A and B are shown apart, each in its own frame.
Chain A
């Protein structure tokens, strides 16, 4: 592996790890607040899948960095400006409809991204994708079912779900942006060219929203910046909570 490819792969694995840990943490915020017990457990399960995936990406990043850092250093010792996750993942949990709509957007995204990542020439990235594909089928079935139920439910649930769709739509565009790093890796057969997945994502999401009697928003506005470290104010607050134990007791083991 050339130095340039290695450095880019380290950055790429870190980005994917950041997406997973941030979304995983957001989902975990529902644990003990679920509307009923089974749903509470479901949230815990899905959060665990994402946090497990983040661990695999970070472990690989640490291996590539080879500078003594571990997966924990990637998760707990970087500030918000050093995080490279997509903004969609860091949005606060909001109400139940808001979280399920965000989950649907993310689940459809991974339904498309992971099979592509499975084809990566990088064996580790491909192996992580293989584990995620089956899990994502279950995630998507759940978020899809909830969006259908809420969108096509009561007047109140419909109103809240539509509001969530409108509020989150502008954060979905950056999911399909490519930059120099990812383009170089995509050309080398390592990274996924996400720009090619946009049409398929739009179609799948639109079909589900329409079935849920919801309106698919116009592409009127877009917020970007996650991949370059420019985040919404939400991430800093989330990381403060996520990192405080590790930072207060450096090197602590139990």
Chain B
């Protein structure tokens, strides 16, 4: 499969922000915090880690929810605090920021690859329909690569996914919705 990817502007900005950060080591440290629903993705990969700042001894971490009702936010907050504490940072505050709203564009290229290897089709593996929503067919099967697939359900195992089935290898798979 071709992996020449043009980096969307949003991702480029995120990468710039991370590289220019004063506390680069904290961004690196937070790579170990995974999304509890998709444990192969770090909160950086998924794009929900928005900012890390240090003010004296105090560490301020800003995260953003993928969907309004994402039930993972509390766990992620606890995991961020635990990861920083384990490395000697005791004064940690985790803030949730809603605006600008999270977009699947923010997911890192590495995150997209990990998602596919994990058996979930990333957002760009389907052409959206004319309403800009998940199509009813042809999301690429992450197992065999076929485009001969059909949507079984608009709503999958979590709010961020839809359920498809491959007509060639017959495997069902999750598609990470583009929003």
Residues of chain A touching chain B, judged by Cβ–Cβ distance below 8 Å, are: 38-39, 41-42, 44-53, 55-56, 123-124, 126-128, 130-132, 134-135, 137-138, 141-142
B152 interface hit (Cβ, 8 Å): yes
CB-based contact A137/B132 at 8 Å: yes
A162 → chain B, closest Cβ, in Å? 25
Most buried by A among B68, B158, B163: B68
| Contacting residue for A52 out of B65, B153, B157, B163, CB 8 A | B65
CB-based contact B69/A42 at 8 Å: no
- Please name the residue on chain A nearest to B158 by beta carbon: A45
A253 → chain B, closest Cβ, in Å? 11
- Please name the residue on chain A nearest to B177 by beta carbon: A138
Q: What is the CA–CA distance of A141 and B177 in the complex, to the nearest angstrom?
A: 15
B96 → chain A, closest Cβ, in Å? 9
29 contacts between A and B (CB under 8 A): A38-B155, A41-B155, A42-B153, A42-B154, A42-B155, A45-B155, A45-B159, A48-B67, A48-B68, A48-B69, A49-B67, A50-B68, A50-B69, A55-B69, A56-B68, A123-B99, A124-B98, A127-B100, A131-B68, A131-B98, A134-B101, A135-B159, A135-B179, A137-B132, A137-B133, A138-B154, A141-B131, A141-B133, A141-B154
- Per-residue CB contact flags for chain B residues 44-75 toward chain A (1 = under 8 Å, else 0) read 00000000000000000000010111110000
B156 interface hit (Cβ, 8 Å): yes
Q: What is the CA–CA distance of A123 and B101 in the complex, to the nearest angstrom?
A: 12
CB-based contact B98/A128 at 8 Å: yes
Residues of chain B touching chain A, judged by Cβ–Cβ distance below 8 Å, are: 65, 67-71, 98-102, 131-134, 152-159, 163, 179
Which residues from A are CB-within-8-Å of B152?
Answer: 38
Which residues from B are CB-within-8-Å of A41?
Answer: 153, 155-157
- Please name the residue on chain A nearest to B69 by beta carbon: A52
Q: What is the CA–CA distance of A55 and B154 in the complex, to the nearest angstrom?
A: 24
Q: Main secondary structure on chain A at its contact with chain B? A: helix
A32 → chain B, closest Cβ, in Å? 15
CB-based contact B133/A131 at 8 Å: no
Given known A38-B153, A38-B155, contact A52–B70 (CB-CB < 8 A): yes
Q: What is the CA–CA distance of A56 and B64 in the complex, to the nearest angstrom?
A: 12
CB-based contact B68/A52 at 8 Å: yes
Which residues from B are CB-within-8-Å of A137?
Answer: 131-133
Q: What is the CA–CA distance of A50 and B67 in the complex, to the nearest angstrom?
A: 10
Given known A124-B98, A127-B101, A137-B131, contact A142–B68 (CB-CB < 8 A): no
Which residues from A are CB-within-8-Å of B102?
Answer: 131
11 more contacts with CB within 8 A, not counting A45-B159, A48-B69, are A38-B163, A41-B157, A42-B155, A44-B155, A48-B68, A49-B67, A49-B68, A55-B68, A130-B98, A134-B101, A135-B67
